[in-house]
Structure formats: C-alpha cells, structure tokens
Structure 1
Amino acid sequence: MDSVNLLGLVAGSLTTVAFVPQVVKIWRTRSADDISTIMFLLFATGVFLWLIYGIAIGSLPVIVSNAITLALAVVIVILKLRFKTALPPKAVQPTPPLPPGDGKG
C-alpha cells in the first residue's frame, strides 16, 4: 500500500471513529433529542454517494471509510427514531379562585 492510500485510510478512520462516541452517548442516555434527523439523513445520503463514488473509482480508503461511516450514521438515525420522546402536552393553567365577596355588589 502506498503512502497516499495509507493517508486516506488514516484520515477516513479518524473521521469515521468520531461518530462512535455519539452512538454510545445516545445508547447510554436513551435520548437523541439534540440530533437533527434531517441533518443526519442528508449526511447519510452524502456518505452513500461518496461510497458509490469510491466504488466507481476503486478507491479502498474512500470505500472503507464511507461504508463504516454510513453504517454509524444509519445507527444514529435508527436510535434517534427509537428513542424519540413525545412532546409533553401543554399544561392547562387553572383559573385562580375568585376572592370571597361580602355580598355587596
């Protein structure tokens, strides 16, 4: 393996591994409220296209890093949907009681 492909594998590995802490945090807290579903769906689509591109040009670093990143992005979206919390219903404020009157009006 030449140094350029090695550099690509290291770069791809580091950017891919960066998603692991997010997956672990979502799993531990059972919450993904702060994750944008639309952003991750767009991101996963982009990574999928990079994967197709890597396959088309036969670039192992692009293929491997994007295949793993896509898997992690899909896991995050699945966990986001699985641990989705419903919005709490709006609380209805009770009307305060009227002060007692003396009967004079």
Structure 2
Amino acid sequence: MSPLVVLGALGTLVSTITILPHVRHATRTKQPGGSPVAWVMGVTGSTIWLVYGVASGDLLVAAPGLVTIPCGALLAIWSLRGRRDAQVEQTVESVEPAPSFVPDEWLAAGYGSGDTLEMPAVA
C-alpha cells in the first residue's frame, strides 16, 4: 500500500469521525446543535461523494457516506423538528389576550364578555 493511499485513508477516517461528537452531544443533551441548512448541505455533499466513489470504484471516497449520510440526516431532521417546536412555543407564549370591549359598567354589574345587551344610550 502506497503512502498516498495510507494518507487518504487516514484523512477519510478523521473527517468521518468528526460527525460522531455531534451525534453524541445531541443524544446526551436531547438537542441537536447547528443549523438544519448546514446539516442538509453536509448530507447532500456526502451523498454526492458516495455516488462518485461508487461510480469510480474508489472505496476511500465512498465509505464516509455510509456514516455521514445517516448521521447528518438524523441531525438535520432533529434540528428542524426542534426549531419548529421552539417556534410554536414562542408563538403560543407571545399571544396576548384580546382586549375587552365590554363597558366597565357592565363588568361592574356582573355581565361578562359575550352577553348580549343593548349598548347604553349616549347622552
């Protein structure tokens, strides 16, 4: 085996392993880090390299995709769902109650919103 192939294999191994701390962090904290767009771009790039490696018959080029594609897809989906859930929570928290248009006299008399009474005459 030539030194160039060994160097390529080492580079492939190191670059493939870099995704594993992200997966570990996400499973420990129950929150994926990073941008969903970045994860989708990473999965897309890994898929392209996998297809290229298979088509050219180069296992060193194709092999990382077997790890990075499933891990990146998991983190992309997870971060998208987490972002959507956070937006829903933020929306629910930011909704203010509608202002009441019931006259104070009616509220003092015990009539609440939704009761049907004629508006008092304006003098």
Instruction: Please state which band the TM-score falls in when normalised by the shorter chain.
Output: 0.7 to 0.9
The percent of aligned pairs where both chains have the same amino acid is 26
**Within 2, Cα distance between the matches of 1:66 and 1:22?**
16
Aligned residues between the structures: 93
Q: Which has the higher contact order (CA 8 A, sep 6+)?
A: 1
The Cα shift of 1:83 comes to 4.1
Unaligned 5+ runs, structure 2: 98-123
Q: Does the Cα contact within 8 Å between 2:46 and 2:64 map onto a contact in 1?
A: no
Provide the TM-score with structure 2 as the length reference: 0.63
Matches within 5 A, 1:26-37: 26-32=26-32, 34-37=33-36
The Cα shift of 1:49 comes to 0.6
User: Counterpart of 2:10?
Assistant: 10
Unaligned 5+ runs, structure 1: 94-105
Q: Does the Cα contact within 8 Å between 1:27 and 1:79 map onto a contact in 2?
A: no
Please tell me the root mean square deviation across aligned C-alpha atoms, in Å: 2.3
Does the C-alpha gap of structure 1 residues 36 and 63 become closer, same or farther in structure 2, counting only changes over 3 Å? same
